[in-house]
Amino acid sequence: MPLLHAQALSRSFGSTRALVELTLSIEPGEIVALMGANGAGKSTFVKILSGVLAPDAGSVLFKGRPYAPSVPAEATAAGVVTVHQSTDLVGIPGLTVGDALLLNRFVDRREPFFVSRRRVRREAQAMLREAGFDLPVDRNFAELPAADRQLVAIARALVNRAELLILDEPTASLSAAESRRLYATLLDLKRRGMAILYISHRTADLAALADRVAVLRGGRVVETFARPVDFDAAIETMIGRPLASARPDARRADGDPVFEISGGRLLPGSEPFDLALRRGEVVAITGVLGAGKSRLLSAVFGAGRLAEGAMRLDGARYAPESPREAIAAGVAMAGEDRHRSSLMPAGWPGETIAETISLPHLSRWYPSGFIRPRRERAKAEAAIDRLGIRAAGPTASVWTLSGGNQQKVVLGRWEAEPGRLLLLDEPFQGVDVGARHDIITAIRSRTDRATLIATSDPEEAIEVADRVLTMDHHTIREGRAGAGARRIGEDAR
Amino acid sequence: MTTAHDDTASRPGAGEHLREFLRAGAVFILLFAMVVGFTAAQPAFININNLMSILQAVSVVAILGAGVTVTLAVGGFDLSIGAVAASSVMAASYVMIVWGLGAFATIPLVLLLGAAIGFVNAFLIVRLKVPDLLATLSMMFLLTGLQLIPTAGRSISPGLILPDGTTATGAYDPLFLLVGRSSLFGIVPLPVVIMGVVAVLLFVLTERTRIGRLLFATGGNELATRLAGGPTDRLKTLAYVISGTLASLGGIVVAARVGRGDVSSGASLLMDSVAAALIGFAVLGLRRPNVFGTIVGAVFVGVLLNGLTMLNAPYYAQDFVKGAVLVGALALTYGVARGRA
């Protein structure tokens, strides 16, 4: 008997059918990966299982009994625990890791009213022992790396006697080494009989973990692949069209560099490095979280400073004091975490696709100062066509779009005007394979500027770039094209 | 009326549609119902002079509320506006009565004072990174005290005896008094005209220009605005300077109406204008600061108070009524909207 069996689940939002008679079962001790392009229905399915949404039709059996949680707490009580992508919400900055582990016990009225530090530490350690994790119980939660926050959430799930663990893109913000640690943990949990529903876009994750891959498209399971999984076939099933091989041959850009750093130091003590980017060239920088990739991009964009060294743009001295000056000089940056760095909140002016694209170009497009919406809408429509953004139209809110389409809007913002250098920090965060492919094509089709991409995923780097560099301890180690890059890719597995 | 509204209204679903319509139009429906109700109970209510006196009564609150709206748009909050208005009343009276200057010197000087206070607020918030509520709250305290110092705590009227024992020789400029006491075509009081001009200017600025777009962008996501090249520090400064200037304009209207520098003027201005700006969130169901909503919010409260007064409701019930309207409006804006996906 399967642990969980979802039978013909349907759910619509207005005229959009997010789930269409989805049927899927999960056995105890099985890791099932859920793959699907954005909008395929993955998150709707997860929300139904975790008690956030109710299905319009269909039913779920959990351990042979009907299962229809109306609030997340009911799902948790039944043994279905969901660990969300964003783990900031697992604990509270300023409180300790032990507090975070015991957080849901604090709200339990059966627990004693007075809490001693010693008891918190003892019980938190007991929890960790049971889970087999090693975490610093007394550390401030805010100082905990993203990978360890995941573990806090998982440890809490274990104490709640979870039988089905749902993980939503758990490795999105993890480095390769951190991901490997998570894999080991999950495989151990599987051995202990826990079922895991794993949602991810990364083939590396799925290859390491999944017993079975269920591919979602258009709100239903179109195909399931058993181990060993043919990922090319799975990806083609997912996006519904053949996938052209990773990327065309690397171009050899020559001529004078568009952008140069000589003798650059990111931190006063770090090793100096040089960097030169040529016109039409796409260069990726990989490295673990904290290696200094974002710091480098910020410095080039004027949002931060180099500790030392000179930058040149088109041969002229370039030392932007602010993003404003950088943009004026033709340098653009789409920052990491687009929600924080690029988008306006939902329901606030500026949330539409057209307004999102026009924000940096307002003074150029509206020199009189008065907004004429037609102009920015035309620009947005052009971006929607060129990048294949799936949206109702230029005045649709970016919050109605999937992650991949949001990222395309952000890219469209900086492609709306010509530039000399485009900086992209983790442009594939929360972007599915299909949209990633579109974005890569769009990035590579522009030859009038240089593009510098920072990504912690070496596979992405190889896929998008002509040249891959690695960053380590705040300095660039020049990777040779081809062979060097390939080797980095293998490290990730 | 604005793009944001069009988008939500055009989403399909009949029930959703009706609900959206009710939410967007609730304030207007209530306003209409009140006017009809009050007129039925007391026919003098609909009299044009009475309507104008309502608008005149709310004009100062609406002008200050427009300033609050701009600071809310940049994600800030100006608590000092009431004190700025009160200080402006005192400053205008002092300039005319003690310094003996005329209207043409007084008005620019007082507006400059308001702008300068806004600038200081912005300096505290933008440069020294003092949280906006704390910065403007302390500015409110400072001004409430400062306005008493030049006259040793006395109200300012002609023949004022100064702290050094001399008697002030100046008087209110009749031209200055016209600002508060004259009417356009004998019907529309000048304060109402000023309110209208402020409303239109600020509506256009916030909703139709790129400065307005950037002001809201700063309040929506300051980091994203800076990374898009927006001069966020300058935009915030601009918002506080606008707010301070409008508050002193409100003070000028009060001074021209009252004709003396009363120490206790402007006591309820802060609360009333903040309330107007917040009620404005419910207008058109926008759930965000907007100048048009603020003006409607101010008028809404004015109509309610005037009508109740005509029906002989006790004056001490006024604050309760305002509070109830505010609570109702916010519950409507946020509570009813929750069903939306």
CATH number at residue A69: 3.40.50.300
Residue type (1 letter), A461: A
- In the predicted structure, residue B115 carries a pLDDT above the cut 80: yes
Residues of B within an 8 Å Cβ radius of A: 3-4, 6-7, 11-13, 16, 208-214, 216-217, 219-221, 223-231, 287-288, 341
- Do the domain assignments include residue A245? no
Q: Among B9-13, B157-161, B268-272, which stretch is predicted with the lowest mean pLDDT?
A: B9-13
The confidence score (pLDDT) of residue A70 equals 87
Q: How confident is the model at residue A32, as a pLDDT?
A: 92
Residue B142, pLDDT > 90, answer: yes
The answer to whether A324 faces chain B, any CB pair under 8 Å, is yes
**Which amino acid type is present at position A357?**
I
| A357 and A435 together in one domain | yes
Q: Would the CB atoms of A347 and B13 count as touching at under 8 Å?
A: no
**Do A334 and A445 belong together in one domain?**
yes
Cβ contact B216–A345 (<8 Å): no
CB contact under 8 A, A340 and B7: no
pLDDT at A286: 84
Task: Give the model's pLDDT for residue A172.
Answer: 65
Structure confidence by residue, pLDDT tens digits, B67-95 = 999 999 999 999 999 999 999 999 999 99
On whether both A225 and A263 belong to a single domain, the answer is no
- Residue with the two structure tokens 């003074």: A363
Residues 245-264 of A with CB under 8 A from B: none
Task: Give how far A398 is from chain B: nearest CA, Å.
Answer: 12
A234 & A262 share domain: no
Whether residue A252 lies inside any domain: the answer is no
Residues A279 and A166 in one domain: no
Residue B340's pLDDT is: 44
Domain match, A224 and A371 both = no
**Which pLDDT score, from 0 to 100, does residue B158 have?**
81
Confidence at residue A344, expressed as pLDDT on a 0 to 100 scale: 93
Cβ contact A218:A235 at 8 Å: no
Chain B interface includes A269 (CB < 8 A): no
Does residue A408 belong to any structural domain of this protein?
Answer: yes
3 state SS for chain A: CCCEEEEEEEEEECCEEEEEEEEEEECCCCEEEEEECCCCCHHHHHHHHCCCCCCCEEEEEECCEECCCCCHHHHHHHCEEEECCCCHHHCCECEEHHHHHCHHHHCCCCCCCCCCHHHHHHHHHHHHHHHCCCCCCCCEHHHCCHHHHHHHHHHHHHHCCCCEEEEECCCCCCCHHHHHHHHHHHHHHHHCCCEEEEECCCHHHHHHHCCEEEEEECCEEEEEEECCCCHHHHHHHHHCCCCCCCCCCCCCCCCCEEEEEEEEECCCCCCCEEEEEECCCEEEEECCCCCCHHHHHHHHHCCCCCCEEEEEECCEECCCCCHHHHHHCCEEEECCCHHHHCCCCCCCCCCEHHHHHHHHHHHHHCCCCECCHHHHHHHHHHHHHHHCCCCCCCCCEHHHCCHHHHHHHHHHHHHCCCCCEEEEECCCCCCCHHHHHHHHHHHHHCCCCEEEEECCCHHHHHHHCCEEEEEECCEEECCCCCHHHHHHHHHCC
* Residues from chain B contacting residue A373 (CB–CB below 8 Å): 3
Q: Do A369 and B6 touch (CB under 8 A)?
A: no
> Cβ distance A164 to A3 under 8 Å?
yes
Q: Across the interface, do B228 and A360 touch by the CB < 8 Å criterion?
A: yes
Total structural domains within chain A: 2
Residues A396, A483 within the same domain: yes
Domain end: A178, A208, A239, which one? A239
Considering the domain architecture, whether residues A264 and A309 belong to the same structural domain is answered as yes
Task: Tell me, yes or no, whether A86 and A200 share the same domain.
Answer: yes
Question: Is A249 within a domain?
Answer: no
Residue of A nearest to B216 (CA): A349
Do A42 and A104 lie in one domain? The reply is yes
Of B7, B12, B216, nearest to A14 by CB-CB distance is B12
Instruction: Name the residue range of residue A156's domain.
Output: 4-239
* Strand B188-189, strand B183-184: pairing: antiparallel
Are A220 and A210 in contact, with CB atoms under 8 Å apart? no
Interface with A, mutate which of B23, B204, B227 (most A CBs under 10 A): B227
Whether residue A90 lies inside any domain: the answer is: yes
Residue where a domain stops, chosen among A207, A239, A271: A239
User: CB-CB: which of B212, B219, B224 is closest to A341?
Assistant: B224
Strand duo A195-199 + A257-265: pairing: unpaired
pTM of this prediction exceeds 0.80: no
Q: Do B12 and A15 touch (CB under 8 A)?
A: yes
Within a domain: A251: no
A396 vs B contacts (CB less than 8 Å):
7
A359, closest residue in chain B (CA to CA)? B228
Say if the Cβ atoms of B213 and A350 lie within 8 Å: yes
Best B210, B233, B291 member to test A by mutation, with max A CBs in 10 Å, is B210
Question: pLDDT-based confidence at B208, cuts 50/70/90?
Answer: very high
Distance from CA of B284 to the nearest CA of A (A): 13
What is the structure's pLDDT at A245? Answer: 40
Q: Closest residue of B to A394, CA-based? A: B7
Residues of B in contact with A370 (CB under 8 A): 208-210
Mutate to test the interface with A, among B203, B207, B221 (most CBs of A within 10 A): B221
Contact A345 B211 (CB under 8 A): no
A261 in a structural domain: yes
Quick count: other Cβ atoms within 10 Å of Cβ A87? 19
Inter-chain residue contact A395 with B6, CB threshold 8 Å: yes
Of A14, A342, A371, the CB nearest to B224: A342
Nearest Cα residue in chain B from A341: B224
- Residue A315, domain member (yes or no): yes
Contact across the interface for A342 and B226, Cβ inside 8 Å: no
Query: A276 and A389: one domain?
Result: yes
| pLDDT tens-digit profile, chain A (493 residues) | 788 999 988 988 766 678 889 999 999 989 999 887 766 788 889 889 988 888 999 889 998 889 988 888 888 888 888 887 666 666 777 788 888 777 777 766 676 777 777 888 888 888 888 777 778 888 888 777 767 777 788 787 777 778 899 988 777 666 667 778 788 888 888 888 889 999 876 777 888 888 999 988 888 888 888 878 777 777 778 766 665 444 455 666 667 789 999 999 998 888 899 999 998 889 999 876 667 888 999 999 999 999 999 999 998 999 999 999 999 999 999 988 888 899 999 889 999 999 999 999 999 999 999 999 999 999 999 999 999 888 888 999 998 888 889 999 999 999 999 899 999 999 988 787 778 888 998 998 888 889 999 987 777 787 888 888 888 778 887 654 433 333 333 333 3
> How far is the C-alpha of B29 from the C-alpha of A81, rounded, in Å?
47
Between chains, do A349 and B288 touch, taking CB under 8 Å as contact?
yes
From the list B3, B213, B227, the residue facing A362 with the nearest CB is B213
How far, in Å, CA of A208 to CA of A247, rounded? Answer: 24
Residue A200 sits in the same domain as residue A289: no
What domains does chain B contain, in order, with CATH numbers? 28-35+46-336 (1.10.3470)
A15 touches B: beta carbon within 8 Å: yes
Whether A132 contacts chain B with CB within 8 A? no
User: Which residue on chain B is closest to A304 by alpha carbon?
Assistant: B227
A212, A239, A266 - which closes a domain: A239
Q: Which of A52, A348, A400 is most worth mutating to test chain B (most B CB atoms within 10 A of its CB)?
A: A348
| Model confidence at B54: pLDDT above 50 | yes
Task: Give mean pLDDT, residues B151-162.
Answer: 82
